[in-house]
Chain A
Amino acid sequence: GQNIDQPTEMTATEGAIVQINCTYQTSGFNGLFWYQQHAGEAPTFLSYNVLDGLEEKGRFSSFLSRSKGYSYLLLKELQMKDSASYLCAVRRGGGNKLTFGTGTQLKVEL
């Protein structure tokens, strides 16, 4: 079966760093995605990890440990516009099916 856990809500201060964790238990793991979704909008792609380690993209970084079934999304120099829901999604098997976590609602405050 598939089980993906991420915190429901987080609050952070503008300019700070925040880490959003995602743990998964899934058969046929074949990569992990992070998406950002603003209220009322479509999810947009942030990052993809298939091998262990850190992937950096500007203010956003994502880390994966396959042996631990663990990933995190790191957001640096937080801005108000980063207030959104962050979705962790795991790809299963050889196709492109994704299983999503329920999302972490991040609120950035002044």
Chain B
Amino acid sequence: DVKVTQSSRYLVKRTGEKVFLECVQDMDHENMFWYRQDPGLGLRLIYFSYDVKMKEKGDIPEGYSVSREKKERFSLILESASTNQTSMYLCASSPGNQETQYFGPGTRLLVL
């Protein structure tokens, strides 16, 4: 079974803090993705990566950055958290361009 894990299920941070969300997949997938999910807006793509050290902006990259130093790990970074970044963050991975994405359990982030 494909397993995608995320470092935390719930996280509470203060405005202005630097926040790291970690995602690890154990199936040697090339592609990894970060989404946020908000009521009424659905899943929106923040950043994605097709290979180690490679990253591309998704639809809503502002306020975020990412890091992919190893194939299995894709980190999402909030340089200075703001209240409008309170959301559910979902990581996903896929083995190739014609394959489905497999999602992690999500991290519910609250920024106070």
Does A42 lie within 8 Å of B43, measured CB to CB?
Answer: no
Given A42-B106, A100-B42, A48–B100 Cβ distance below 8 Å?
yes
Q: How far is the CB of A87 from chain B (nearest CB, A)?
A: 7
- The interface of chain B, by Cβ under 8 A from chain A, is 4, 31, 35, 40-45, 48, 50, 58-59, 90, 94, 96-106
Given A42-B104, A42-B106, A103–B45 Cβ distance below 8 Å?
no
How many CB-defined contacts (below 8 Å) exist between A and B?
A: 50
Q: A42-B105, A100-B42 are in contact. List 12 more A-B contacts (CB 8 A).
A: A41-B106, A42-B106, A43-B103, A45-B101, A87-B43, A96-B31, A96-B50, A96-B94, A96-B97, A97-B48, A100-B35, A100-B43
Given A96-B31, A96-B94, A97-B58, A45–B42 Cβ distance below 8 Å?
no
Given A42-B106, A45-B100, A103-B42, A95–B50 Cβ distance below 8 Å?
yes
Residues of chain A at interface, number, CB under 8 A: 20
**Residues in chain A near residue B105, CB distance under 8 A:** 41-42
Asked whether A102 is an interface residue with its Cβ less than 8 Å from the other chain, the reply is: yes
Give A42 to B108 CA distance when docked, in angstroms: 12
